[in-house]
Structure 1
Amino acid sequence: MKRMIYALFFGDSITYGEYDGVFGGWVDILKRYALQKFHEGHNELIVYNLGIGGETTEGLIKRIPHELAARNSADGNVVFIAYGANDLAIKNGNKMVAPEDFTANIEEAIRIAKQFTTDIYLVSILPFSKDVDGIEVASGKLRTNDEVLTYNSILKGMTEKHSLTYIDFYSALVDDKEVLLSQDGVHPNEKGYGMMAEIAIPTIEKYL
């Protein structure tokens, strides 16, 4: 008997797939892959792209209880949490979400998600291009790769504390970031998104 499992991807514009006019981003690639597998006779994995551009973990904890309650499959749920690129940014002289608050928000998101599933994945923050590292961009945000390491360390610690799985896109992209990121230096280009999808496919395979 085939199962219908819901995979919910929470995140910001990188989860949404911004700047990828070819594939629509890594989550949309996974959505098409899951649909193809379903047509081949596998379980049905319904992929929900719940990425919102500019969102931080402050927004996540406000909406995650409602999003999960609205999309709760009797056959099982999988939750992906991909935040940090906006949280770590400095805007108007202030960190958008300080490390201690980021930690508390991720902790709360995990607590809520655990009410619906034990299959929870934390996704690393990506590196930034040298062209935007430490430079205030048009949006007024300033980001540094040093802060990426700090916030990724928090995410790794959370996965260990709660026995979750960490999806490490950072390590896969960092050496070739200048060719895998779009012109804005923050979002991946289609090559970068494609690589992210390839890394994530073995994870969703477990539910197909």
Structure 2
Amino acid sequence: MINCLFFGDSITYGEYDGVLGGWTDILKRYFHSRFINENIEELNVFNLGIGGETTDGLVKRFSTEAAARTSPDQNLIFFAYGANDVALKEGYRMVDPEKLRVNLQEVIEQAKKITSYLYIISILPVASAIDGITVPSGKQRSNQAIAEYNKLLQEFATQNGIVFVDLYNLFFAEKDVFLSGDGVHPNDRGYQFISEHIKPLIEKFL
């Protein structure tokens, strides 16, 4: 039995997708269907996304959440953070780059005791209409800052022997097609796109 744990924020949770329920739910249905119809190894998908969460929140809950959901056989753990960390609120980053690195280091050290199959997913771009604009929630995000945080995430992944999944560059050209009206969360097409790029990382274990 394989357990896939997906930690993240509202994009992992699937917010703004009233059709498919987000990319983790798409994967859950896909692998469950294959298990029933093709008799593949059982694979459980755990959506551990919480809206608005930063890596500060991840540090607080990782060990408890992971301990309750790990398989004695095989575990894959995905981290999709940064969309809130990178946001400016009242002139300050919600989580500055150095604190982001410290938070991830703490969690990754715990995660490596569970499995060697760890993945960090890049932050997605925001839509052109809100790039550098303060939105009603009081948060401001820019693709320049997101690119800088993604560089940090990629370097961190390399230094720690973790797979970095670069969705930012895959998403960027079509960002205004794949993002919902709020300019931050994907729409159903965007979530489908994400699921198609995560799926092969899991399928190779079947």
Please identify, of 85-94 and 52-61, the stretch whose mean Cα deviation from structure 2 is larger: 85-94
Correspondence 1:34 to 2:52 = no
Aligned residue for 1:9?
A: 6
Q: Give the TM-score, by structure 2 length.
A: 0.97
Structure 1 residue 207, shift from structure 2 partner: 2.5
Distance 1:205 1:37 in 2: 11
Classify the secondary structure of the residue corresponding to 1:87: coil
**Which runs of structure 2 are paired with 1:168-207 in the superposition (5 Å)?**
168-207=166-205
Structure 1: state its 5+ residue gaps. none
Please identify, of 105-114 and 9-18, the stretch whose mean Cα deviation from structure 2 is larger: 105-114
Structure 2: state its 5+ residue gaps. none
Structure 1 counterpart of 2:127, which letter? S
2:105 to 80, 103, 107: 107
Distance 1:111 1:140 in 2: 33
Structure 2 counterpart of 1:38, which letter? F
Distance 2:101 2:205 in 1: 28
Distance 2:8 2:105 in 1: 15
**Which runs of structure 2 are paired with 1:1-208 in the superposition (5 Å)?**
4-39=1-36, 40-208=38-206
Classify the secondary structure of the residue corresponding to 2:95: coil
Percent identity over the alignment is: 53
Classify the secondary structure of the residue corresponding to 2:15: coil
Distance 2:199 2:68 in 1: 25
Distance 1:167 1:95 in 2: 23
Structure 1 residue 126, shift from structure 2 partner: 0.3
Q: Give the TM-score, by structure 1 length.
A: 0.96
Distance 1:95 1:107 in 2: 19
Classify the secondary structure of the residue corresponding to 2:58: helix
Distance 1:191 1:78 in 2: 25
Structure 1 residue 187, shift from structure 2 partner: 0.5
